[in-house]
Amino acid sequence: MSRKNRRTSPAAASPSGAAAGTYEISTGTAELLPDDFYPDAWTLMINGVPSSHVQIGRPDVLEFEYMRWIAAIVEQQVASHLDPASLRVTHLGGAACSMARYFAHRWPKSRHTVVELDAKLAAYVREWFDIPRAPTVKIRVGEAGEVTRGFYPASREVIIRDVFAGAKTPASLTTPSFFRAVHDALVPGGLYVANCGDYSSLIATRAELAGMAEVFDHVAVIADPPMLKGRRYGNIILIGSDRELPAEGSSEAASLARVLLGGAVPAHYKDETWTRTLFRGTAPRTEENQGNDAAQPADPPGEGPDPR
């Protein structure tokens, strides 16, 4: 594999094969940065954007807060009605496969398919990191929308979308047509979870939720309070299912809230009533209007996105 400006030092190399440096990949460049706070830990940058964090030998650690929020809702739903011994999870957007590593460790009999657009990146992360081998974690190279539309009906319990081109999710992965493909691939009562990066206006969040609500019977969100109040750019987790999601005041919602408030960046779960109020009156993004969102307002300096 070709390497561009590879930089290594004895302190920046790993017995696993990871080495600090910048690497040419199919879609640009990937950079591996050693984490000074943890042994054999790495941040993966894709075209300058923080995309994954991995501690070799510690698949149970999720450094990025938004990934912990995704884990919280998936774990709640598995505990509620999904069987971890036969769980099939698809991760749209691979990077270093942090979430797949985490869930494979959490539920050893679960099976994971990671869909990654960049073939060279997929090969590198297999070389660098301790990702379980297939069939536990299978990396499939392809475009997320095209691959999703080819899934067999009712062939998986959970689909997680974490796909970005720069700071935005490709518009084709935010339409009712895409959500229908996801819905068709899920078993009855399956779970769709998406990481949405949005500005303080929450225009993209509202449009995605409006589209999801055309397909899924129930929707909800997770984010930190500043994001929910429209104060900055950041991550908001969008949740869709045909099975009823935890409602405010329920024991399930209370349990989920305790998990979300226990992290370094406390987050809130907002149930269906709150979520539907958020996007009321918003038109979903369609194939015809993918590029026609209103201009996003500038966010305050220093209030950039959390790592995706």
The answer to whether residues 191 and 44 belong to one domain is no
Which pLDDT belongs to residue 166? 74
Q: Does some domain include residue 301?
A: no
Cα–Cα distance, 248 to 125 (Å, whole number): 40
Question: Do 23 and 139 share a structural domain?
Answer: no
**Residue-range definition of the domain harbouring residue 45:** 10-55
pLDDT at 216: 98
Residue at 189 is within a domain: yes
Residues of the chain with pLDDT under 70: 1-16, 289-308
| Same domain? 134 vs 32 | no
Amino acid at 115: V
Per-residue model confidence as pLDDT tens digits over 38-90: 989 999 999 999 999 999 999 999 999 999 999 999 999 999 999 999 999 99
Instruction: Report residue 20 as tokens.
Output: 């600090």
Is there a single domain that holds both residue 192 and residue 88?
yes
Domain count, the chain: 2
CA neighbor of 263 nearest in space, from 222, 308, 218: 222
77 and 143 part of one domain: yes
Q: Does residue 155 fall inside a structural domain?
A: yes
Regarding whether 42 and 169 lie in a shared domain, the answer is: no
- Separation of alpha carbons 55 and 62, rounded Å: 9
Nearest Cα to 22, choosing from 43, 41, 9, 3? 3
Residues 132, 208, single domain; the answer is yes
Examine the domain organization and report whether 155 and 51 are in the same domain: no
Residue 97 lies in a domain: yes
Q: What is the CATH number of the domain that holds 260?
A: 3.40.50.150
Residues 160 and 223 in one domain: yes
Do 177 and 213 lie in one domain? The reply is: yes
112 shares its domain with 30 = no
Q: How confident is the model at residue 148, as a pLDDT? A: 98
Q: Does any domain span residue 167?
A: yes
- Do 111 and 208 fall within a single domain? yes
Tens digits of residue pLDDT in 155-187? 999 999 999 987 789 999 999 999 999 999 999
**In this predicted structure, what is the pLDDT of residue 299?**
40
Predicted confidence at residue 294, as pLDDT, reads 43
